[in-house]
Amino acid sequence: MFGLKTKGRDGVSSGVFLIGFGLLYLTQWWWPGLMILLGVTGIVDIVMSGHWKDALKTAAVFLIAAAMLWGLVWTGIMWSILIPGTLIAVGIFLVYRGFK
């Protein structure tokens, strides 16, 4: 079942993203819901390719990032800095993972 071709993996991860995006739209829980959705979608794609160890590493990175964000919110950091900074950091991580 796992280790699908690229076309099948793309369909599954796209479906997970659309389902999650629909749930975010219904609940209006955009932040940090969007970050969680991106993490889950990436993890599903990695698992579907059969790379369990990479999926665990990615899950650990997103859990650590979520814990850090939660801690930063309680310190009173400005959202106008936190949200773009987090999006940029996640983007850099995804680009790095793509070249690996």
pLDDT tens digit sequence for 44-64: 888 888 888 888 888 888 888
Decide: pTM greater than 0.85: no
- Could you give the count of Cα atoms lying within 13 Å of 79 in the half-sphere of its Cβ? 2
Q: What is the mean pLDDT of the chain?
A: 79
Computed on alpha carbons and rounded to an integer, the radius of gyration of the chain in Å comes to: 15
Q: How many domains does the chain have?
A: 1
Please state, in angstroms and rounded to a whole number, the distance separating the CA atoms of residues 43 and 88: 19
Specify the pLDDT at position 1.
Answer: 47
Specify the pLDDT at position 96.
Answer: 83
Q: Is the pLDDT at 22 greater than 70, yes or no? A: yes
Please state, in angstroms and rounded to a whole number, the distance separating the CA atoms of residues 73 and 77: 6
Structural domain range at position 41: 8-99
Whether residue 50 lies inside any domain: the answer is: yes
> Which of 47 and 19 is assigned the larger pLDDT?
19
Whether residue 3 lies inside any domain: the answer is: no
Please state, in angstroms and rounded to a whole number, the distance separating the CA atoms of residues 26 and 62: 23
Whether residue 2 lies inside any domain: the answer is: no
Whether residue 1 lies inside any domain: the answer is: no
